[in-house]
Amino acid sequence: MQPETPVEPEVDKRLSGGDTTVFAASSSAFETPAPNLEGERLDKHLAGDVAFEDVFVTAPAPVNSGLGTIFNNSSCIRCHPRDGRGRAAEPGVDQESIFLRVSIGNDPLTGPEPAPGFGLQFQHRAVFGVEPEGKVDVAYEELETTFADGDTISLRKPVFTIVESYQ
């Protein structure tokens, strides 16, 4: 007699995130805590969400001080509206969600090498009385791609340029 093969439980394909799956389809979906968060874990998440939305200011403010002299934005939520991904950069507009890494090369052992005068992250904002590292302009290069079935699409490749640099 053959031993019985264990039957795998049927997986509900709608639960792509397992117990963390949220069925919200609105633009606020990322603001929804995972349904399996309870008690202390939910409290920790909600406290983190408050910090994510806090606006940081310069010292010596009694609350949320510590905004550096140069920075990318004054809060997480300003780059990640509705707790989601940042907005795509648009030509001729102040880049609200930009995070631009800069380097002069990549060492195989230590990784990216900082650009002199900039470090590894370009910071396009500054507190009053301090010059930001510069501004970021974006243009888009259109790339046409053809699929195996002959359908074509056009993709936009961003090309970033640092302008009005303090260097």
**Domain coordinates in residue numbering, the chain:** 26-163
Q: Is the pLDDT of residue 49 over 70?
A: yes
| Cβ atoms within 10 Å, residue 67 | 19
Report how far residue 2's alpha carbon sits from residue 117's, in angstroms, rounded to the nearest whole number: 72
pLDDT tops 90 at residue 4: no
Helical segments of 65-134, H only: 76-79
Average pLDDT along the chain: 90
**pLDDT at residue 53 greater than cutoff 70:** yes
**pLDDT of residue 145 exceeding 70:** yes
Paired tokens of 14 = 């709608």
Segment holding 80, helix H or strand E: none
Could you report the per-residue pLDDT of 73-131, keeping only the tens digit for each?
A: 999 999 998 888 888 888 988 888 888 999 998 889 999 999 998 999 999 999 999 99
Read off the pLDDT band of 1 (50, 70, 90).
low
List the helix and strand counts (H, then E) for the chain.
2, 8
| pLDDT of res. 132 | 94
**For residue 37, is it left (φ>0), alpha (ψ between -120 and 50) or beta?**
beta
Burial (CB count <10 Å: 0-12, 13-18, 19+), residue 53: middle
How much of the chain, in percent, has pLDDT values that exceed 70?
Answer: 99
